[in-house]
Amino acid sequence: MKKAGKTWSIEAATVEGGAGREVVLSLSGQVPLDDMEALAADIRAFLDARNPAGLTVDLGGVTYLDSAGALALVQLESDAQARSISCRFANVSEDAQKIMGLIDRKALATPPLISDRESAGVLDQIGEAAMRFSEDLVQVLTFLGDLLFALAHSFLHPRSVRWGDVFFYMKRAGADGLPIVGLIGLLMGLIIAFMSSLQLKQFGANIYVASLLAISMVKELGPIMTAILVAGRSGSAFAAEIGTMMVNEEVDALVTMGFEPVRFLAVPKVLAALIVVPLLTIYADLFGILGGLIVGVVGLDLTAYTYIQESRKAIDLFNILTSLFKSAVFAVLIAGIGCQRGFMVRGGAQAVGAATTSAVVAAIFLIIVTDSAFALVLHYVRG
């Protein structure tokens, strides 16, 4: 609460010298936080009225000075220098010197960061974005190394794995995701079969709808669609869970108790995703083929036996194995980036939300890039 009256007073004396008129300000009383604005306003009005060549601030009568009062005095010195007025402090007590020493004059002279952002050009913005990307890449690679080391330790020492947590995350990421994965897979099969039949039946090639759908679902759409769904459902949950633990300092508590955070928190999530994502991919492939079967039987006058036989001929063991391998790689990317974004949380609830969004976006980006790399490599390996 602001005090009713001033706790300080100012007396001014003018001294004529060879360098021009010099004014001595004698400050006495207490200079606390409550009176900082009034003190700064009075001193500013004094400088506007007299505009001296030199200014000496006598602090001999000051009985109390806190950090806010010290900041007001430092700002007075800065204002005087900006007006080309020489300014110095006299009779400063030892306690006042210590408090004034806490003020970082260099930081006060630094322009605000927001003005730098406003004046930054396109090249500056590109450079800042490149630096942020490189820093993020280093952090991701560092975490990837820690995660691979923790996974290797878990494979060599399976009893150290928290299998109860692995089964828990398998249920959350796998069993709980069956309805949405099955629904999306079924609708995807229906849509692709229907749209492709509109073109193929013009040439009397309805039978090839089964082959087209089977190849597209097994090789590309099944793994990538399942991975994106898992990234949205489970990757974000992993980031939010670990991020909340970081905010609540629970991860620091684990370190204090001697637990390795990556091994304790990230490994169960990665192992669970590594197991369930390939299974979900097979599940999505089956529902996609089922959707195509419905279109083939209802709209294309194909028998169920004929449709299934054509689908079986279109895919082979190599396609199935590569699809499962891609799904396993996607699983590691989803769980790993989710955990990494969670460990990077600093701040409060807003930081957790930002980490969750970043985990989903980064996971989807990595899924697309990795799938493109697989498409090129598998083309030349099979060819």
Residue 115 has pLDDT above 60, yes or no: no
Tell me the whole-structure pTM to 2 decimals: 0.68
Determine the pLDDT at residue 35: 61
SS3 of residue 145 by DSSP: helix
Determine the pLDDT at residue 105: 65
Determine the pLDDT at residue 188: 93
Lowest mean pLDDT among 7-16, 57-66, 75-84: 7-16
Query: Whole-angstrom Cα distance, residue 131 to residue 133?
Result: 5
Determine the pLDDT at residue 22: 74
Confidence of residue 60 (pLDDT cuts 50, 70, 90): confident
Determine the pLDDT at residue 258: 86
Domain ranges of the chain: 8-110, 138-382
Asked whether the beta carbons of 23 and 56 are under 8 A apart, the reply is: yes
Asked whether the beta carbons of 37 and 5 are under 8 A apart, the reply is: no
Tokens of 104: 């970082």
Confidence of residue 7 (pLDDT cuts 50, 70, 90): low
Percentage of the residues of the chain whose pLDDT score is greater than 70: 87
**Torsion sign over Cα 355, 356, 361, 363:** positive
Residue 117 has pLDDT above 60, yes or no: no
Residue 214 has pLDDT above 70, yes or no: yes
Query: Whole-angstrom Cα distance, residue 160 to residue 24?
Result: 74
Determine the pLDDT at residue 2: 38
Query: Whole-angstrom Cα distance, residue 13 to residue 257?
Result: 65
- 270-323: pLDDT as tens digits: 999 999 999 999 999 999 999 999 999 998 888 899 999 999 998 989 889 999
Closest CA to 200 of 211, 190, 214: 211
Q: Tell how strand 86-90 and strand 8-17 pair up.
A: unpaired
Determine the pLDDT at residue 328: 94
Lowest mean pLDDT among 115-119, 212-216, 339-343, 349-353: 115-119
- 146-155: pLDDT as tens digits: 999 999 998 9
SS3 of residue 87 by DSSP: strand
Query: Whole-angstrom Cα distance, residue 336 to residue 370?
Result: 14
Query: Whole-angstrom Cα distance, residue 181 to residue 339?
Result: 23
H or E stretch covering 29: strand 20-31
Q: Is 344 exposed, middle or buried (0-12, 13-18, 19+ CB in 10 A)?
A: buried
SS3 of residue 346 by DSSP: coil
Lowest mean pLDDT among 83-92, 217-226, 324-333, 364-373: 83-92
- 42-58: pLDDT as tens digits: 777 776 776 677 777 77
Query: Whole-angstrom Cα distance, residue 251 to residue 259?
Result: 9
Asked whether the beta carbons of 154 and 271 are under 8 A apart, the reply is: yes
Asked whether the beta carbons of 333 and 370 are under 8 A apart, the reply is: yes
Residue 9 has pLDDT above 80, yes or no: no
Query: Whole-angstrom Cα distance, residue 189 to residue 26?
Result: 86
Of the chain, the end-to-end C-alpha distance in Å amounts to: 80
Query: Whole-angstrom Cα distance, residue 346 to residue 20?
Result: 55
Determine the pLDDT at residue 85: 76
Determine the pLDDT at residue 1: 34
Closest CA to 287 of 44, 279, 197: 279
At the second CATH level, the architecture of 8-110 is 2-Layer Sandwich (3.30)
